[in-house]
Structure 1
């Protein structure tokens, strides 16, 4: 049971950190139509778009193609998370590996998300759970952010940040910096509590971002202020392999088991 409690603590902390960057189901930036090649050619001849508009468009393009991603958070010596995987927004599929480290204990997990179906394996024992099988969660009844996950079409929890950008400036070709206002985002209760504890600093969180020649967002880093017992946290996400086919399959029924009720109670 000690391992089980440590697991729940780590998952809860991971989720609390990630939701400060998470968006709700409403994605204003995602509603923008992707630029056509003709428009891109025209834009090349026209004056550069203002930095904020360029970043909003870069976030929007994350809806348009399969990709690989990596996201990490560092909260001093308290905790760190690392999530690496691939996703296909069109099919709402996502798979990855996650490492959560807290209080000197590292927990490894494998995750598959297909629509609202979530499958997970973990490196620590849970009562009544076969560690060789996938635990199944009904994502429609479970908070993915509390699992440290984004929605399957937003695995790194960053797309909804576009409309929270307050200031933005270009620092080089495809390079930007600025600030975001976390209070502009609707987040789950745990994330909202953390944001409230940040005080006015939550309204001016610094970020750095990069885009590639095709206008895709390739990296986004922000440094969130301390919140209660959680120290200042650096969160970094990178995206790559845009358009490369992603194949994510459902585990065989014989390899799946229901998630334990105690864990579901923590994540409902």
Structure 2
């Protein structure tokens, strides 16, 4: 998706060179130079729209689901909810089809992180304010548990490709750092600047899905995150004391 845009811009620039190198007058209508400028302006407007839509995730509640390729031919599914105003976030995930198969769950309330894995009934409590978890299966940041703030900061360019679709590229974090979807287990990437995405919005301008194309050490991977119930109440409570 992001390679296509580069090719189109290159073609536009070649057209500019060919036309400006001619002695004949340019045809009536917009010049190629104006067309290129318009494309750049349209891309900037599309990026501004995307960032505004992503910012809504920090203001209102929502639910999410993730379905993605994972390392070693495995798959990961995750789901949960986020209430940014109350600083509450939850996630359940399952990895299938390989050596890392398993499941886990986390609840984040402020700086208090509660996690458990597999069939364990007991939760482990950590205070992220003084001790951040280093478990790659449960990586989460108190200020950005969904990872959507980091994604917004990493967006490189955006183009509108349909009435409700935006395509573009972003710079993924360095190898070994947790990336989307939504704080799910980290993947090692070949290099920065080699990741594309397609975001889809609804009639109200809410993002309802983000599909990512990543180049990892294990090959290309597709990560799909969907979002629903924007602005609707979510209930996220800490585990019972008896389960700690």
> What RMSD, in angstroms, separates the aligned Cα atoms of the two structures?
2.9
In structure 2, runs of 5+ residues without a counterpart are 1-41, 179-185
In structure 1, runs of 5+ residues without a counterpart are 1-46, 125-130, 257-268
Q: CA deviation at 1:120?
A: 2.0
Partner secondary structure for residue 247 of structure 1: coil
After TM superposition, which residue ranges in structure 1, 4 or more long, deviate above 4 angstroms? 194-197
In the TM superposition, 1:41-56 aligns within 5 A as 50-56=45-51
Instruction: Select the residue among 174, 197, 208 that pairs with 1:218.
Output: 208
**Alignment: residue pair count:** 195
Work out the CA distance in 2 between the residues paired with 1:137 and 1:212.
37
Do the aligned partners of residues 179 and 145 (structure 1) sit closer, same or farther apart at CA in structure 2, a change above 3 Å counting?
farther
In the TM superposition, 1:53-64 aligns within 5 A as 53-64=48-59
2:233 alignment counterpart:
245
Q: What do residues 109-150 of structure 1 show as CA deviations (whole Å, max 9, x unaligned)?
A: 2221111111123225xxxxxx22222222231237733444
Q: CA deviation at 1:233?
A: 2.0
Normalization by structure 2: what TM-score? 0.69
Q: What do residues 85-115 of structure 1 show as CA deviations (whole Å, max 9, x unaligned)?
A: 1110011111232112352563122221111
Using CA pairs under 8 Å that are at least 6 residues apart, name the structure with larger relative contact order, 1 or 2. Answer: 1
Normalization by structure 1: what TM-score? 0.63
Q: What do residues 55-100 of structure 1 show as CA deviations (whole Å, max 9, x unaligned)?
A: 0101111111111011233036433222101110011111232112
Q: Which has the larger radius of gyration?
A: 2
Do the aligned partners of residues 203 and 48 (structure 1) sit closer, same or farther apart at CA in structure 2, a change above 3 Å counting?
closer
Work out the CA distance in 2 between the residues paired with 1:207 and 1:61.
18
Work out the CA distance in 1 between the residues paired with 2:237 and 2:230.
20
In the TM superposition, 1:174-189 aligns within 5 A as 174-182=164-172, 185=173
Work out the CA distance in 1 between the residues paired with 2:238 and 2:153.
34
1:134 alignment counterpart:
123
Instruction: Select the residue among 156, 160, 163 that pairs with 2:146.
Output: 156
Work out the CA distance in 2 between the residues paired with 1:61 and 1:71.
19
